[in-house]
Structure 1
């Protein structure tokens, strides 16, 4: 059986009007340094984005979110940052910035599988909560 690995993650936020500091969670970047795992998952809820800013440029936001995924994957067409070592890419992507796309502070956890941890954090931090059912 595998030992649990330490992982770091940051939530990707879309801040359509930076001056208002309102945001929606749109993805997660997760890194397990020991296994060399680095992946990002993104799911943009356009209705929630439009609730914060009806004039948000959705296609630009999608393009920037896609760039995060491509950089994590080390895609050849993702520019020079994608050619850095995995850990350097993680730190570059999670650096504090004042822009439409931001990340949360970095958090840690333990996992046996990076992909499962990524989906678990996506469920907890990005995806819509299931509706509460009325008690009978």
Structure 2
């Protein structure tokens, strides 16, 4: 069985009115140095966002959230930040900011199991800290 790889992650938050400091979790960004992985998954719950801020520009929020994914992927079509080395992109993505899109504190974890993949850890985090379980 392969050894577990450590990773760092942060929750991506939408803060529609920064002065109120209210937010909803909308995604996760994860960096695993040993596996050279930087990725983000985003899932915006539009109903929750509108409940928090009825006049929010949802399309603008979606565009800002999409930039996390593009920067993680890197390459020439990801803008100047996306062309930085992976570790620098990670630090830029999790840097504190006071805008409508913010990241929470950085946490650490381990990719475990028979196939310790950062993508699986990213999906697990999205499921546990972003998706809201609604009664059936």
Q: What TM-score does the superposition give when structure 2 sets the normalisation length?
A: 0.94
Q: Which residue of 1 aligns with 2:100?
A: 100
**Which 5+ residue runs of structure 1 have no aligned equivalent?**
none
Query: Given the alignment of the two structures, is residue 19 of structure 1 paired with residue 19 of structure 2, yes or no?
Result: yes
- Give 5+ residue unaligned stretches, structure 2: none
Q: CA deviation at 1:130?
A: 4.2
- Which residue is equivalent to 1:81? 81
Aligned to 1:118: 122
What's 1:5 paired with? 5
Report the counterpart of residue 48 of structure 2 in structure 1: 48
State the 1:129 CA deviation: 1.9
Q: CA deviation at 1:87?
A: 1.1
Instruction: Give me the CA root mean square deviation.
Output: 1.0
User: How far apart are the structure 2 equivalents of 1:59 and 1:130?
Assistant: 24
1:75 deviation in Å?
3.9
For residues 22 and 130 of structure 1, the distance between their equivalents in structure 2, rounded to whole angstroms, comes to 21
Number of aligned residues = 132
For residues 27-46 of structure 1, the aligned pairs below 5 Å read 27-46=27-46
Q: Structure 1 CA distance, aligned partners of 2:58 and 2:126?
A: 20
Q: Deviations over 1:23-68 (max 9, x none)?
A: 0000000010111000000000000000011000000000000011
Residue number in structure 2 paired with 1:129: 133
- Answering whether residue 78 of structure 2 is matched by residue 64 of structure 1, we say no
